[in-house]
Amino acid sequence: MAVKRIVANIATERVAEVRAFYSELLGLETAMDMGWIATLASGAQALTQVSIMSEGGSGTPVPDLSIEVDDVDATYARAQDMGCDIAYELTDEPWGVRRFYLRDPAGKLVNILSHKG
């Protein structure tokens, strides 16, 4: 048996607003929109991972989602321009990532990161 995909599900009554948020912030494209569910995709291939955590590291809470981007500084600047609720400022962490947390319109805590190096 092989896992082919893991999908993050965000519960919200404001599907269109949350879809637009992730599209604008991350450049994700709508792969499917049925009104009650919208699926966004990047087209990039990624490893399947699940993290089991007791904390978020550096004293932060466990995020609901972690999203790796190719340029965290540009994504942080876009989040600021959008007026996003930044919950943890852009930080270089001792384990080799540069990241920040924000809250999406559904209230989910999102860890956005790039690996350094």
Q: Is the pLDDT of residue 46 over 90?
A: no
Q: Is the pLDDT of residue 117 over 80?
A: no
| pLDDT recorded at residue 19 | 98
Q: Is the pLDDT of residue 14 over 80?
A: yes
Mean pLDDT confidence for 65-93? 98
How many domains in the chain?
Answer: 1
In a domain, 84, yes or no: yes
| pLDDT recorded at residue 68 | 97
In a domain, 5, yes or no: no
Residue range 34-44, pLDDT digits in tens:
999 999 999 99
Residue 100 banded pLDDT, cuts 50, 70, 90: very high
Residue range 17-27, pLDDT digits in tens:
999 999 999 99
Cα separation, 6 vs 3, whole angstroms: 8
- Spatial contact of 62 and 54, defined as CB atoms under 8 Å apart: yes
The pTM assigned to this predicted structure is 0.95
Mean pLDDT confidence for 54-58? 98
Cα separation, 86 vs 83, whole angstroms: 9
Cα separation, 115 vs 110, whole angstroms: 16
In a domain, 56, yes or no: yes
Mean pLDDT confidence for 78-83? 98
Give the residue numbers spanning the domain of 63.
15-115
Cα separation, 46 vs 26, whole angstroms: 15
Which domain CATH number covers 89?
A: 3.10.180.10
